[in-house]
Amino acid sequence: MSDRAMQDVTDTPLSEAAIVAALGPRSVVLVGMMGAGKSSIGRRLAARLCVPFADADNEIEVAAGMSIPDIFSTYGEAHFRSGETRVIARLLDGGPQVLATGGGAFMSADTRTAIAAHGLSVWLKAEFDVLMRRIKRRQDRPLLKTDDPGETLRALMAERYPVYEQADITIVSREVPHDKIVDEIVGALADRLAPKAAGALAGEDRVP
């Protein structure tokens, strides 16, 4: 492929099919705080890319035979995190897919390593007020069952955001239609994967 043709390929946004082809067996892994929209946006993203969707928290509940709040209350957070690491490692073998993870999953160094090896991580970054509005609608957040959920959330954000910054892609989750966030993720994936797609095309040109 000529240099000009290569430039044309890298300058042209990848289609959804080309994004999936460039991903190969890797997963698109959504990380971020509770309330960032990982599950709802993840389902739409998976439908857009025509790949399966997996929710790590749901898979943990299936594997344990009990809800996440019950796991926390019965066995504690350390037990939950250990199971979470194992479930995510198993799910990462099932790509390409969109995988939504729990808020604390990316804090595990082992999980970050596994995601880096088998996927592309996308941080859905949300401001405090956005998260609080969304979280108040649900009562199944074990870590926020405190006297001051707002202060607890701020402390979790302060602890987790520096780690979330290690994600491959950052997208701001805000009060706009979910399809707009999906558009932004698809665009970021296309930008990230364009060089890989161009290299694959160049390799095809070299085949006799």
Domain boundaries, the chain: 3-199
Query: How high is the pLDDT of residue 140?
Result: 58
Greater pLDDT, 12 or 102: 102
DSSP state of 93: G
**pLDDT tens, residue by residue, 170-190:** 999 999 999 999 999 999 999
Residue 142: its pLDDT value, please?
62
* pLDDT computed for residue 5 by the predictor: 40
Smallest Cα–Cα separation from 156: which of 178, 179, 131, 174?
131
pLDDT band at 155 (very low <50, low <70, confident <90, very high): very high
Beta bridge pairs of residue 29: 99, 121
Stretch 9-34: mean pLDDT, rounded?
86
**Is pLDDT of 51 > 80?**
yes
The answer, yes or no, to whether residue 60 has pLDDT greater than 60, is yes
C-alpha span between 175 and 184 (Å, rounded)? 14
Q: Render 95-157 in DSSP notation, one character per residue.
A: -SSEEE--TTGGG-HHHHHHHHHHEEEEEEE--HHHHHHHHTT-S--GGG-SS-HHHHHHHHH
Annotation: CATH topology of 3-199: Rossmann fold (3.40.50)
Q: How confident is the model at residue 144 (pLDDT cuts 50, 70, 90)?
A: low
Report which of 157, 100, 103, 97 is spatially closest to residue 127, judged by C-alpha positions. Answer: 157
Residue type, 182: V
